[in-house]
């Protein structure tokens, strides 16, 4: 679809014009900066959205808002009346360049019509795609977000979750919103600036000793090999193994398995099988005598790597902790290929602390769009207030201890 066709077919197009002051001079690469913006809302992942995503990939996106991820996501989940794409694009009025894009979706949830990020529980972070050299001051961003909210299609609630502080090395403009709330989720990662040996030597001696012991136990069971898989046939086989391993683990924990849903499964199959050959998807595995005992799927952009889906054998293999060994070997292999930031994403699994990771906060924004969305909005505000209350948290901890 051509750009001019996209504009004519837009569900909504709203001029969001306002004056700004004290704006820094843009960096080289931005055609210019005007005093206002045009807000477009597109009903599909169109050519202009894809082109902008490719243009800012790496500098202005997270690993979960790349063009490949989003195009696959929208292709999978918005081909039914239950989910409608809502792509918000902000264009600089003077230069005509896009400076921000919000990849959203509208769907029914608990009797309400909700607009949220293109996620459905599959992305670890949600963030806008931004032009890294276009500054937004807080007042400017809040005015712009007001106009974006007014331009959205009819719905009951706007719910934006899992918002990180930064997008690559740039401050996330959404974190300047006045109604931003701290999420109950955190993310974890580690920056390795020096050599692998330098990093490894900073970890606890007891952990390094335990890792060596587990490698020895694993090697006694057969020949151990590490695989960075790129062949489509091998990927399909390992992906099937990963899904089986993950299902067993979640059933043991009495947790639902997302990939039992046919749409979820189709998304991951397309993402991983196509993505391994194109580059952003990195699929690694640990084999013992040719049998995969641990599998790991992540996303990379040449310098940053994010772990997303993993599986490992249990039972007799538990003494070896094959999942933890695969994490170590994958990080080492990627570091040799120039990767320096390793993102363990969301989840507070105990093993992450062994790798000396740092914790980061995630945020959320909720806005009612109709009177029907008000009860849910106020309930989310109450929950956010409880998370901030030291008294409430103290009572919860005491109840847990009593139980």
Domains of the chain, residue spans: 3-185+362-396, 194-339
Q: Does position 186 have pLDDT exceeding 50, yes or no?
A: yes
- Indicate the CATH number of 194-339 among 3.60.21.10, 2.40.10.120, 3.40.50.1970, 3.40.630.30: 3.40.630.30
Q: In whole angstroms, what is the distance from residue 162 CA to residue 119 CA?
A: 10
Q: How many helices (H) and strands (E) does the chain have?
A: 12, 16
- Indicate the CATH number of 3-185+362-396 among 3.30.470.20, 3.40.50.850, 1.10.3720.10, 3.40.630.30: 3.40.630.30
CB 328 within 8 A of CB 334: no
State the pLDDT at residue 398. Answer: 54
Q: SS in 3 state form for 242-310?
A: HHHHHHHHHHHCCCCCHHHCHHHHHHHHHHHHHHHHHCCEEEEEEEECCEEEEEEEEEECCCEEEEEEE
State the pLDDT at residue 7. Answer: 34
43-57, 287-301, 386-400: the lowest-pLDDT one: 386-400
State the pLDDT at residue 33. Answer: 35
Q: Is the pTM of this model over 0.85?
A: no
CB 311 within 8 A of CB 246: yes
Nearest CA-CA partner of 64 in 127, 158, 131, 132: 127
Q: Are strands 157-164 and 112-117 parallel, antiparallel or unpaired?
A: parallel
Polymer length of the chain: 403
CA angle 286, 292, 293 (to 5 degrees): 75
Q: In whole angstroms, what is the distance from residue 100 CA to residue 94 CA?
A: 15
Report the 10 Å Cβ neighbour count for 279: 13
State the pLDDT at residue 388. Answer: 58
CA angle 291, 294, 295 (to 5 degrees): 105
**210-269 pLDDT, tens digit each:** 999 999 999 999 999 999 988 888 888 888 898 888 888 888 777 777 778 888 888 988
The pLDDT of 357-384, averaged and rounded, is 88
Q: Does position 4 have pLDDT exceeding 70, yes or no?
A: no
**56-99 pLDDT, tens digit each:** 988 889 989 999 999 999 999 987 778 999 999 999 888 889 99
């Amino acid at each position: 679809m051509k750009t001019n066709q996209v504009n004519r077919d837009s569900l909504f197009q709203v001029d969001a014009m306002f004056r700004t002051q004290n704006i820094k001079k843009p960096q080289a690469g931005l055609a210019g900066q005007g005093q206002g913006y045009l807000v477009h809302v597109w009903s599909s992942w169109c050519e202009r959205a894809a082109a902008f995503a490719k243009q800012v990939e790496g500098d202005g996106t997270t690993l979960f808002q790349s063009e490949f991820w989003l195009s696959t996501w929208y292709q999978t989940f918005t081909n039914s009346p239950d989910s409608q794409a809502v792509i918000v694009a902000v264009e600089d009025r003077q230069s005509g360049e896009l400076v921000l894009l919000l990849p959203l979706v509208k769907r029914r949830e608990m009797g309400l019509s909700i607009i949220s990020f293109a996620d459905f529980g599959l992305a670890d972070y949600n963030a806008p795609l931004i032009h890294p050299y276009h500054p937004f001051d807080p007042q400017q961003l809040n005015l712009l977000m007001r106009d974006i909210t007014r331009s959205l299609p009819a719905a009951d609630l706007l719910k934006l979750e899992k918002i990180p502080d930064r997008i690559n090395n740039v401050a996330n403009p959404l974190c300047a919103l006045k109604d931003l709330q701290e999420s109950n989720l955190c993310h974890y990662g580690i920056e390795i600036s020096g050599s692998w040996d330098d990093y490894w030597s900073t970890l606890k001696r007891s952990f390094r000793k335990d890792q060596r012991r587990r490698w020895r136990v694993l090697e006694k069971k057969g020949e151990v090999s590490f695989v960075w898989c790129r062949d489509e046939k091998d990927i399909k086989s390992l992906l099937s193994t990963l899904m089986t391993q993950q299902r067993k683990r979640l059933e043991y924990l009495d947790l639902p398995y997302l990939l039992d849903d046919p749409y979820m499964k189709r998304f991951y199959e397309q993402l991983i099988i196509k993505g391994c050959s194109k580059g952003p998807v990195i699929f690694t595995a640990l084999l013992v005598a040719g049998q995969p005992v641990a599998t790991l799927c992540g996303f990379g952009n040449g310098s940053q790597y994010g772990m997303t889906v993993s599986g490992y054998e249990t039972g007799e293999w538990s003494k070896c902790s094959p999942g933890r060994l695969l994490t170590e070997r994958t990080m080492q292999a990627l570091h040799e290929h120039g990767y320096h930031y390793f993102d363990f994403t969301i989840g507070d699994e105990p093993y992450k602390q062994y790798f000396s990771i740092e914790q980061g906060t995630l945020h959320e924004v909720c806005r009612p769009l109709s009177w029907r969305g008000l009860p849910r909005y106020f309930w989310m505000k109450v929950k956010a207030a409880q998370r901030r209350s030291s008294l409430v948290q103290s009572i919860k901890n005491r109840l847990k201890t009593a139980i």
